[in-house]
Amino acid sequence: MALGMHSTSPVARAVFEVLTESWSRRMVGDGQILSDITDDSSPFEFSVALDGQRELRMLTEAQGSIPSLASNWRAAWELNSRLERDFNVSLSRAHLIADLFSPQHRNAKFGLWHAACLRPGQAPDFKLYFNPDAKGPEHAQGTTELALARLGMHGAMEWLREVGLARGTQDHIVYFSLDLADHGQARTKIYVAHRQATVQELDAVMATSPQHRKGDTERFCQAMTGDREVYAGRPPITCAAFVGHQSTPSTVTLHLPVRSYLDSDHVALERICEFLPEESAKIYRLAVTGMIDRPLERGTGMQTYSSFRRQHGRERLTVYLSPEVYRPA
């Protein structure tokens, strides 16, 4: 409601019910449903994108009746079939690469996640998030390159080697995402975590987007986390989005894990609102205060990441919000 997306509310409820159907009737007190989506293992999160327009996103994990890597993978593909039937999504690209990401490694934290994007007056968009570590972290790059080859994206492979993973073992691919569409504008997105990264090193990745402007990275990092020579804790993540068979990303997004570098959710809220235009800041403040049921000063973790990119000439800020179903002590 805080986003003013009243006309979208029935669609949002319907989408959320479908995405969470595999576990939504379980009681919180019956035992924790472990998920790597959030720090406290809540199996879903929301995010709010603001760039003059408003967008609500949902990220969820389908789970088996007894959650495990294998049962969750099966539940995810059952959900894919439901989305294909009810929302007319295309699974053609996902089928091309599914076997590469089937989780086999015992320490893989997930197999497949689903996301939905909702905008006023538009049909929802859906995305999949595969785990490059599915067969072990040592295979993440090879698995990703095989997937890109099957999708006919050889140029993206070169970008990944030369830019996304330029710092060797300090850079690691964490997510491989597909739009559930087969039209010419369907995106493939590669998320890379940059351990011990400096602002300058992050900017070198961001600058490969044709929409990037000099100074954006430093300004965003300064606004979110203050003066910092290196991100020594939880690593920042860049997301390179490739449209069709493009060789270079159409956009690159920087995700900063604000909960790891700020003292409280109150500090995060104030920094984010200061960065946003006044009207967007009002909307975002209402969204956060309407969602949380604890004082923002008492801890971090409700606002997990803040991300920035330029798109169509506008600055786009997105903040990721944990529901804290299983709030950490």
Q: What is the pLDDT of residues 68-105, one digit of tens each?
A: 999 999 999 999 999 999 999 999 999 999 999 999 99
The answer to whether residue 189 scores a pLDDT higher than 70 is yes
Strand-pairing partners, residue 329, are none
Q: What is the mean pLDDT of residues 143-148?
A: 97
Q: Name the least confident of 45-59, 66-80, 152-166.
A: 45-59
Average pLDDT (121-132) is 95
What's the mean pLDDT when you consider all of the chain? 93
Closest CA to 141 of 167, 160, 155: 160
Q: What does the pLDDT read at residue 99?
A: 97
Q: What share of the chain in percent tops pLDDT 70? A: 96
Other Cβ atoms closer than 10 A to 12:
16
Residue 38 pLDDT greater than 70, yes or no: yes
pLDDT at 9: 79
pLDDT of 13 higher than 50: yes
| Amino acid identity, position 12 | A
pTM of the model: 0.95
What are the tokens at 232? 């020594």
pLDDT of residue 221: 98
The backbone torsions φ and ψ at residue 126, rounded to the nearest 5 degrees and listed phi first, read: -125, 150
In the chain the beta strands, taken as DSSP E runs, fall at 44-50, 54-60, 112-118, 125-130, 171-179, 187-194, 237-243, 251-256, 303-311, 314-321
Which residues are paired to 251 by β-bridges?
241
* 132 CB-contact burial (10 Å; exposed 0-12 / middle 13-18 / buried 19+): buried
pLDDT value at residue 329: 42
* Mean pLDDT across 311-329: 87
Structure confidence at residue 327 (pLDDT) = 75
pLDDT over 80 at 3, yes or no: no
* Confidence at 51, pLDDT banded by 50, 70, 90: confident
Task: Check residue 31 and give its pLDDT.
Answer: 65
Instruction: Say how far apart CA 306 and CA 48 lie, in whole Å.
Output: 10
Q: Taking 90 as the threshold, does the pLDDT of residue 33 lie above it?
A: no
What mean pLDDT do residues 234-247 have?
95
